[in-house]
């Protein structure tokens, strides 16, 4: 079983619709969760983070976390063509010793927002 799983897509949604991106993880010790957006040929950019069960909203983005089901999702409301990118889910286990925060990434879901 992969540590972090995402559907590679592409996920196609019409402009103005809600895009729903999903991610599951295997390690129950995971503490916090991140969504990154990566445009083609560019580096990943952090757009949302969440660590408590429930929803967290930031503008058009909502992250949802269910630790019991080991599931995290990202909703994008009023999707725009500029949202077309690959969305990476990342999971963090807080280090007790040694320092640093190790993020494990999924393969990413490609989102296409069509006019």
Partner 1 sequence: ETGVTQTPRHLVMGMTNKKSLKCEQHLGHNAMYWYKQSAKKPLELMFVYSLEERVENNSVPSRFSPECPNSSHLFLHLHTLQPEDSALYLCASSVSGAGPNYGYTFGSGTRLTVV
Beta carbons of 93 and 3 less than 8 angstroms apart: no
Quote the CA–CA distance of 25 and 20 in Å, as a whole number: 17
User: Which CB atom, from 17 or from 105, has the smaller least distance to partner 1?
Assistant: 105
Q: Which is nearer to partner 1, 20 or 92 (CB)?
A: 92
* In the complex, minimum distance from the CB of residue 34 to partner 1, in angstroms, rounded to a whole number: 4
With respect to partner 1, which residue has the nearer C-beta, 12 or 101?
A: 101
Interior/surface letters 80-94, b for 16+ CB within 10 angstroms, e for the rest: eeebbbbbbbbbbee
**Which residues are near partner 1 by CB under 8 A?**
4, 8, 31-32, 34, 36, 42-46, 49, 51, 88, 90, 92, 94-95, 98-108
């Amino acid at each position: 079983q992969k540590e972090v799983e995402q559907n590679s897509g592409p996920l196609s949604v019409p402009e103005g619709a809600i895009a729903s991106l999903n991610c599951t993880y295997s390690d129950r010790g995971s503490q916090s969760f991140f969504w990154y957006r990566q445009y083609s040929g560019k580096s990943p950019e952090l757009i949302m983070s969440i660590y408590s069960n429930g929803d967290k909203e930031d503008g058009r983005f909502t992250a949802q976390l269910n630790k019991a089901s080991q599931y995290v999702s990202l909703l994008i409301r009023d999707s725009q063509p500029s949202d077309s990118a690959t969305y990476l889910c990342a999971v963090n286990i807080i280090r007790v010793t040694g320092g640093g925060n190790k993020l494990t990434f999924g393969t990413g879901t490609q989102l296409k927002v069509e006019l």
